[in-house]
């Protein structure tokens, strides 16, 4: 996604969120009550649209998505007020520019592009460059996670290796030991590909590598 495309997408997101927030304001204005509880059918429809819009615009693990989950068990009249607040905050974040939500969207889009490229190479029989591209994508994402969670990415001005950053993210509680071990295994495959040890792995392992990194980037957005 180029800069113009990104800005157009953000404008559309803002416009959609604006419209939903305004719909709720109009509903409250014609209601007898502050929570518009005398319009239960309209509230249900609008609440579903708000939830759908927020989930579509954000990525798993984002602040706004977590807020949706926190308020999921509230009654409808209370829930919609919270959902409108989340939508308004997300709209303002998007309008403000390069906030966490926008950065996560860009990262998700970029990773998807590279992983799509790796998958296409693999499908054409080029397992080794596919493994290298996937490994590079993994390292970039691990480094971005370090930045997001204030984990140092350098020691005395020297960039940390990917396996060191992986261990540091586990220590920081970003993910657990099982995820750390899986990333270590992926990095081992990547190193084999990068150093020409092409017979040490096969195409099926590279395919699992691509799928795994894609899922990891979605589960732990940066």
The model's pLDDT over 88-108, given as tens digits with 9 standing for 90+, comes to 988 887 776 544 554 455 455
Per the structure, the complete domain to which residue 146 belongs is given by: 100-219
What is the rounded average pLDDT of the residues 31-55? 88
**Statement: residue 175 has pLDDT above 50:** yes
Show which of 74, 96, 118 is a domain's final residue.
96
Last residue of a domain, one of 42, 75, 96: 96
Under a CB-based contact definition with an 8 Å cutoff, are residues 79 and 47 in contact?
yes
Distance between CA atoms of residues 21 and 14, nearest Å:
11
Q: Are residues 166 and 80 in the same domain?
A: no
Say whether both 79 and 124 belong to one domain. no
Is the pLDDT score of 161 beyond 60?
Answer: yes
Give the chain's domain count: 2
Please check whether residue 132 is in contact with residue 196, taking contact to mean a CB–CB distance below 8 angstroms.
no
Largest CA distance in the chain: 73
Nearest to 193 by CA among 136, 128, 114: 128
């Amino acid at each position: 996604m180029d800069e113009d495309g990104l800005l157009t997408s953000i404008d559309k997101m803002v416009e959609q969120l604006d419209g939903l927030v305004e719909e709720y304001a109009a509903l409250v204005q014609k209601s007898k009550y502050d929570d518009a509880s005398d319009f239960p059918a309209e509230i249900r429809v609008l609440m579903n649209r708000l939830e759908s819009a927020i989930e579509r615009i954000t990525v798993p693990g984002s602040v706004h998505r977590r807020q949706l989950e926190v308020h999921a068990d509230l009654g409808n009249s209370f829930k919609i007020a919270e959902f409108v607040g989340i939508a308004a905050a997300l709209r303002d974040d998007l309008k403000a520019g390069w906030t966490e939500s926008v950065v996560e969207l860009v990262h998700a889009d970029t990773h998807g592009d590279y992983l799509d490229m790796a998958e296409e190479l693999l499908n054409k029989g080029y397992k080794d460059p596919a493994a290298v591209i996937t490994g590079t994508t993994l390292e970039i994402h691990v480094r971005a996670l370090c930045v997001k969670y204030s984990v140092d990415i350098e020691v005395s001005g020297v960039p940390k290796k990917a396996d060191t950053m992986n261990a540091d993210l586990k220590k920081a509680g970003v993910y657990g030991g099982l995820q750390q071990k899986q990333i270590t295994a992926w990095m081992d495959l990547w190193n084999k590909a990068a150093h020409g040890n092409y017979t040490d792995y096969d195409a099926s392992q590279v395919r699992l590598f691509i799928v795994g990194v894609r899922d990891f980037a979605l589960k732990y957005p940066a």
